[in-house]
DNA sequence: TATAATCATAGTATACAAATAGGAATTGAG
DNA sequence: CTCAATTCCTATTTGTATACTATGATTATA
């Protein structure tokens, strides 16, 4: 029951881009230094975010990445699902492919559904903007979004 | 973010013992047939439950297992934590050993705490008795607890 | 044309998941 | 007192996923 580094790093990556946004493209080298994650690993993770259209990339010198939209457009759930895959606590709740023949008589299925909903409820009701705002008001720090 | 088979099977095991309880010890062979899980794997899983005192075992002929307490005494959380380990979605929320030096400046920590609480809230407020009761009222079936 | 960056693909080490296997110890029944 | 059924104990295996690292091609700016 752990969120993998891919999911966690993707979230930190998006937050880093949001917080340090100046309108320019931000190279992964800078993100790497700030977040203490290797550029190579970040490249691998950001690929998915680019393909999903959450992030725009520009090659070459003066290149880098920036969020395609605004921080309030991206929920934690969107980002985690993209990098982690489904957040379902059991496979039988994922799509139609993993149908379990025990489903009808399954005593625990209801529990897993409840758990799934509780998880979704948290991640789908928190945006990047929320996280940044909460952090600022807590610390007294003031990131410029 | 998946519950492993150990956790799921442990839950099914406990539920099976609760539902099929007659006062006698129930051999794993029967549980195995009903739940379609190998006896050998069940043995491995039940060891933990016995050591925790959730289940009592008796060796030899006419031996087997039975719940030490009543179904309402055992929450899903107790059982999952025993077999899965902590249900924390990130390691830094587990005990004092995994302290993260980024904790103070971590923007995502609050989110993980919220997620952790949501998960705990579900599993700690559901007992074996709840699951059985819900199942009976849903299906019209009537297990004898 | 040099440099800084993304983009694409492959490779690797480690740990964990999900079991299986073999046998010793115990108990109850005949 | 022995047999069969069962728990108990410890190892071993197999597969898969995680968490990276490595290499090189492509692209854009100055």
SS3 sequence, chain B? Answer: CCCCHHHHHHHHHHHHHHHCCCCCCECHHHHHHHHCCCHHHHHHHHHHHHHCCCEEEECCCCCEEEECCCHHHCEHHHHHHHHHCCCCCCHHHCCCCCCCCCHHHCCCHHHHHHHHHHHHHHHCCCEHHHHHHHHHHHHCCCCCC
> B5-139: what fold?
Arc Repressor Mutant, subunit A (1.10.10)
Q: Return the pLDDT at A137.
A: 87
Within 7 Å: CB of B58 and strand C?
Answer: yes
Whole-number Cα distances in Å, B89 to A44, B106, B114: 22, 15, 10
Using the Cβ of B27 and the Cβ atoms of chain A, whether some distance falls under 8 Å is answered with: no
Residue in chain B closest to A2 (alpha carbons) equals B89
Instruction: Reduce the DSSP state of residue A87 to 3 states and report it.
Output: coil
Considering CB atoms only, which of B2, B122, B138 is closest to A114?
Answer: B122
Dihedral sign, Cα of residue A17, residue A19, residue A23, residue A28? negative
Q: What is the average pLDDT score of chain B? A: 93
Distance CA A68, CA A18 (A): 10
pLDDT digits (tens, 9 = 90+) for A93-130: 997 777 888 888 899 999 999 999 999 999 999 999 99
Q: Does residue B139 surpass a pLDDT of 70? A: no
Min distance B142 CA to chain A CA atoms (Å): 12
CB of B7 nearer than 7 A to strand D? no
Residue A74 sits at φ, ψ, to 5 deg, of -115, 115
Q: What is the CA angle B27-B33-B39, rounded to 5? A: 60
Separation of alpha carbons A86 and A66, rounded Å: 25
pTM for the structure as a whole: 0.93
B108 vs A1: CB contact, 8 Å cut-off?
Answer: no
Q: What is the mean pLDDT of chain A?
A: 93
Task: Report the percent of chain A where pLDDT is more than 70.
Answer: 95
Residue-wise pLDDT tens digits, B34-90: 999 999 999 999 999 999 999 999 999 999 999 999 999 999 999 999 999 999 999
Contact B10, B83 (CB under 8 A): yes
Instruction: Kindly tell me if the per-residue pLDDT of B98 is higher than 90.
Output: no
Is pLDDT of A79 > 90?
A: yes
**So where are chain A's domains?**
5-139
């Amino acid at each position: 029951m752990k969120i993998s580094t891919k999911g966690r790093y993707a979230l930190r990556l998006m937050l880093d881009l949001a917080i340090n946004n100046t309108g320019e493209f931000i190279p992964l080298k800078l993100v790497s230094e700030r977040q203490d994650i290797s550029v190579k690993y970040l490249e691998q993770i950001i690929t998915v975010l680019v393909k999903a259209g959450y992030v725009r990339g520009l090659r070459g010198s003066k290149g880098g990445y920036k969020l395609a939209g605004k921080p309030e457009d991206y929920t934690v759930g969107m980002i985690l699902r993209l990098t982690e895959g489904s957040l379902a606590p059991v496979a039988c709740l994922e799509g139609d492919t993993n149908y379990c023949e025990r489903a009808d008589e399954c005593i625990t299925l209801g529990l897993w559904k409840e758990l799934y909903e509780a998880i979704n409820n948290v991640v789908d009701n928190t945006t990047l903007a929320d996280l940044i705002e909460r952090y600022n008001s807590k610390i007294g720090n003031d990131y410029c979004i």
